[in-house]
Structure 1
């Protein structure tokens, strides 16, 4: 599916390198005049070197060049009592503003809990 979205020209993939070594990644998803910045990641040894800021800036500029007038992105909330989210700070530096907060749910399976995975349609 990802390959098809890339072929269709609605998803663009980015990677920053340190020499020949991949250091950070991110994607731009274009839907009409909206650009979504998603799936950003940086290897721990390359953090705090500006790779994500550079990739974010490039994705925004490419989105503008592709006709985007709006951009969205998401990350975990950066709380004043524990400001430890560099992604949030990168977003603020690039001009993003918090629009809303939404709940995020997680499942922490118990040791003895078993799941039944279905491989065929019902």
Structure 2
């Protein structure tokens, strides 16, 4: 888990402090490959040509064959990572990549609501 891009090491590298990291395993159970693709391709729907959609559908049918029932329904295993994190980068330091509480001279009193001058 710690080596996963969404895990603690990946989040720290992105300037985030993890407050909660939960992994769950289960299964997605859409009624068909087409239903699964309608859900999974939604963010890309406007950019996928009909030809590309057809190629993706064929590839998904092949890849998901072990998880496809005779009626066409799919029960594919999924793993979900829920990450709750807060930024450790102050907006004024974001461009430089400097972390808010990891550079010399900073302290908890400089944190928002920490009672410091915010300097």
Same structural fold, with TM-score higher than 0.5 when normalized by the shorter chain = no
**TM-score, normalization by structure 2:** 0.26
Q: Which has the greater radius of gyration?
A: 2
- TM-score, scaled to structure 1: 0.26
More strand by share: 1
Higher helix share: 2
